[in-house]
Amino acid sequence: MRNETRDIATMDEATARAELTELARQLAEADAAYHQKDAPILSDAEYDALRRRNAAIEAAFPDLKRADSPSDRVGAPVADGFSKVTHAVRMMSLSNAFDEGDVTDFDTSIRKYLGLGSDAPLAYTAEPKIDGLSLSLRYENGALVQAATRGDGAVGENVTANARTIRDIPQHIDDAPEVLEVRGEVYMSHADFSALNDRQNAAGAKTFANPRNAAAGSLRQLDSAITRARPLRFFAYSWGALSEPLAQTQEQAIARLARMGFSTNPLTRRCDTTEDMIAHYRDIEAQRATLGYDIDGVVYKVDDLALQSRLGFRSTTPRWAIAHKFPAELAWTRLERIEIQVGRTGALSPVARLSPVTVGGVVVSNATLHNEDYIAGRDSKGGEIRAGKDIREDDWVQVYRAGDVIPKVADVDLSRRPDTAQPYAFPDTCPECGSAAVREEGDAVRLCSGGMICPAQAVEKLKHFVSRAAFDIDGLGAKQVEQFHSDGWIAEPADIFTLKDRYGPGRMVQLKNREGWGEKSAQKLFDAIEDKRKIPLGRVIFALGIRHVGEAASNLLARHYGSWSDFETAISAAGALEGAEWDDLLSIDGIGSVMARSLVTAFAQDSERASIDRLAAHLDIEEVARVDTSQSPVAGKTVVFTGTLEKMTRAEAKARAESLGAKVSGSVSAKTDILIAGPGAGSKAKKAAELGIDTLDEDGWLTLIGDA
Ligand code: IVH
C-alpha cells in the first residue's frame, strides 16, 4: 500500500504532517462511505492498515497528532437528517440454525416449552430469508402514516417520505385493522442492482458493493426524489403493533397481507414436519441462483399464532422462529502470523493474521483461533478436530464466515506446509504485562494473572465498562477510554466518576485543553458521566466484566437480589462456596456453578473487591423495578415449581412468573414464599411443609395470578 512505503523511523516532520493529513482525509471518506452511505470504498484489511499506519505515525510524532485525528473517532455518527422513531413493538432479530441438527433441536425445544410430545402435530411456515434491510410500516385506518428502519431494534429512523416512493408498498389498504404495523424487507433485484451500478458508473458516481448496500443506501437518502429513482422492492413477512389479530395462523396472516396488496414471498410454504421443512430448504437452496434477488437462508416460524404468543421472546429473538442459514462460503489463504490478544478477563485469545482474501463478498484478514487446544487440533475434551491437524504460522488455511460471526479456520492444507513451519508454542506469560499466564484444570483458556496491573486487561475492562449494554456513556467510547488510560487519567472504572474533579473546570489541567476536546465537548462528557451515576443494578453487575457473567445473567442476578447492598452482601457471604448464600446463588435458574464460582471469586479477591467498592461509592444504584404489586400478587415473591405441571410446561410457567415480577428458584429454602406442587412432587413439598411455606397446586397458582 502506498502509505506504507516510507519508513517512519527516518521520516521528517513535514512528511509526517502531510501523511497524517492525507490519512485523516482517506479515513474520514471511508467512514462516511461505510456508515452513512452504506457503500464501503475500502476492504476491512485496507481500512485497518490505514488506521494502524496513522497510529504508528502519531506514536512517533505525538506533537503532530491532529485535532480531528482518526484515532479519536469510533466510526461515524449515524446520518443526520432523519428523525427518530421509537418502535411500538421492538424489532427483533432471529437466532440461527446452521445444519439439520439445529433445526431438529429448534423443533424439540419448542415442543418441550409447549409440553407437546414428539408426535403431536406442530406446523411451521418456511420462507426465504431476504438479504435486504427490514422496514416497519404503520397504517392507521388503512392509511400509511409512518415508515421506520429497524435501527437498534428499539429506535429506528423515520423514512416515511422514502417508503412512499416504493411501488410494492401500498399507500392505502382496505379491510385493515385500525392500527396495523406491517414489517418486511426492502431489497433490490440483481437486474436492478446491475442497471443501477451501470447508471452510477456512466454518471461518474459511486457504485455499490452488493444489492443489500444499494438498497440500504437508496432507502436512507435525505432527498426522497433519489429514492424514487431507485428500483426498491418490498416483501411483507411479519407485523408489529396491531389493534386486532390478523388471523389465527402465520400462513393465513400472510395471505391476508397479500389480499391487502402487499407483496409476499411466493416460496412461503406450510410444513407439517421437520422433514418437510428441510425438503423445502433444499428446494429453495436449489433455486437460489435463479431467484433474481439475494437470500441468505430460510426462516421457519411456528404457524399457530396462539402458540407463537405462548412461546414469546428471549431478549432479542423470538422463540417461535429461526433462520436456517445457507452454508458459509470458504476460501484458502496464507496464515501470516498468530497474535495473542489479552481480553478484559485476562484470557489470552489467539488470532490468525491472514493474507487478505474475499469470502462471500467480504475481505477477511483475521480469524479467531479460540485457544491453544484449537490450534493444536484438539477440542475441549481432548478429541480431534480437523482430523488432528495443528495450525502453524505460514500454513495455508481454509477460512469461512457463517452469519455475522468472526471468521474461523475450517481446515489446513498440509501439502503446502513449508518445511520450516514449527508447531505453535502458546505463551505461558502474558505478552502485554509479562505476568504468568495460567491454565486451570478443566479450563480451555489460559489467563493472565496480572489483574489490573496488566494494561491490556485494565483497558479492556474499561472498554467493557463503557460499552452499550453496560454504562453506555455518550462521548466515552473505546477510543477515548484507550486514550485516557494510556495517559494515566483513568486506571479503573471509579476514576471515570472523578474525572471532572480532577480535570474539569477550575483545575490546573483541563480536559478542554487537550487535543480533540473543546469546552463544549468536555462539558458534554462530564454531563454524560453525571447522568450515569444513577444506574440500574443489572447494568452495574454486567459492567463489572466478571468472567462468564453476561448481560442475561446479570439481569437474573439483579432480579434475584433486588438491590446492590443485598447483592454484594450475599455474594461476599457466598465466598465460602458453601452455606445458605452459596446455595441460594446456585438455586437461581440460569446461574451455574462455573459462573457462581467466578462471581464470588471476583468479590473475594482483595484488590478487585476494593476496586468494586470504590466504584459503588460513586453510584446511585437503582433497585430492580418491581412489577406493580397492586396488579401482581406475586411480585417480589420467590416461587418454586415442583412435580408435573399439566396446563403448561415448566419453562412457560417460569417465564410467566418472572414476567409478573416473581423470582423463580430451583430449590426450597427459608426464602421461598410459594411452592407450586404438581402431581409427583416429592422432597421439595416435604421440605416446604416443614418450613411452613404456602403450597399451591397448579390451578391454585393460575387462580392466584389471574390466568385461570
Ligand atoms: S421474520 C421477530 N422473516 O432477518 C422476527 N425476517 O436476522 C421477525 N429477514 O431482522 C423477522 N427475511 O430483517 C423474518 N422471511 C423473513 C425474513 C426476515 C429476512 C430479516 C429481518 C430480520 C433479520 C433477522
SS3 237: strand
Task: Note the pLDDT of residue 8.
Answer: 85
Nearest-CA residue for atom 6 of ligand 1: 129
Identical fold between 536-622 and 629-704: no
Ligand 1 mutation target, pool 87, 92, 130, most atoms within 8 A of CB: 130
Task: Please identify which residue in the block is written with the cell numbers 502458546.
Answer: 426
DSSP 290-354: GSSS-EEEEEEEESBHHHHHHH-B-SSSBTTEEEEEPPPEEEEEEEEEEEEEE-TT-BEEEEEEE
Q: Which atom of ligand 1 is the closest one to the Cα of 313?
A: 2
Query: What distance lies between CA 364 and its chain's CA centroid?
Result: 20
pLDDT, tens digit, for every residue of 459-490? 999 999 999 889 999 999 999 999 999 989 99
The domain defined by 6-72 folds into Helix Hairpins (1.10.287)
Question: Residue 240 has what pLDDT?
Answer: 96
Q: How far, in Å, from the CA of 321 to the mean position of ligand 1?
A: 9
On whether the CB atoms of residues 393 and 421 are closer than 8 A, the answer is yes
Q: What is the CATH number of domain 466-496+498-532?
A: 1.10.150.20
The contacts of residue 615 (CB under 8 Å, 6+ apart) are: 492, 493, 494, 497
Which one of 37, 65, 112, 129 is the catalytic residue? 129
Please count the other Cβ atoms lying within 10 Å of the Cβ belonging to residue 409: 22
Specify which residues 127 forms β-bridges with.
Answer: 299
Closest residue by Cα to atom 15, ligand 1, is: 129
Predicted pLDDT of residue 405: 62
**Whole-angstrom Cα distance, residue 577 to residue 569?**
14
Active site annotation includes 389 = no
Residue 696 CA, ligand 1 centroid: distance in Å = 41
Taking the CA atoms of the chain, what radius of gyration do you get in angstroms?
28
- Is there a contact between 216 and 173 (Cβ–Cβ < 8 Å)? no
Three-class DSSP labels, 658-673: HHCCCEEECCCCCCCC
Give 148 Cα–ligand 1 centroid separation in angstroms: 15
C-alpha–C-alpha distance, residues 224 and 228, integer Å: 6
Other Cβ atoms closer than 10 A to 272: 12
pTM of this structure: 0.56
Highest CATH level, class, for 629-704: alpha beta
Q: How far is the CA of 77 from the centre of ligand 1 (A)?
A: 25
C-alpha span between 564 and 623 (Å, rounded): 7
Query: How far is it, in rounded angstroms, from Cα 50 to Cα 324?
Result: 37
The set of protein residues with a Cβ atom below 6 angstroms from ligand 1 is 92-94, 127, 129-130, 134, 185, 237-238, 299, 318, 321, 323
CATH T-level fold of 84-324:
D-amino Acid Aminotransferase; Chain A, domain 1 (3.30.470)
Ligand 1, residue 323: give the atom nearest the CA: 7
CATH class of the domain defined by 536-622: mainly alpha
- SS3 call for 536: strand
pLDDT of residue 504: 80
Spell out, as residue ranges, where the chain has pLDDT lower than 70. 1-5, 34-40, 43-45, 48, 72-80, 360-361, 402-405, 507-509, 626-630
State how far the Cα of 191 lies from the Cα of 290, in Å rounded to an integer.
Answer: 11
Q: Give the Å distance between the CA of 93 and the centre of ligand 1.
A: 6
In this structure, the residue with its CA closest to atom 10 of ligand 1 is 93
Domain boundaries in the chain? 6-72, 84-324, 466-496+498-532, 536-622, 629-704
Per-residue pLDDT tens digits for 271-323: 999 999 999 999 999 998 889 999 999 999 999 999 999 999 887 899 999 99
Report the b/e string of 493-526 with b at 16+ CB within 10 A: bbbbbebbeebbeeeeeebeebebbeeeebbebb
Do the beta carbons of residue 669 and residue 587 sit within 8 Å?
A: yes
Q: How far is Cα 233 from Cα 231, in angstroms, rounded to an integer?
A: 7
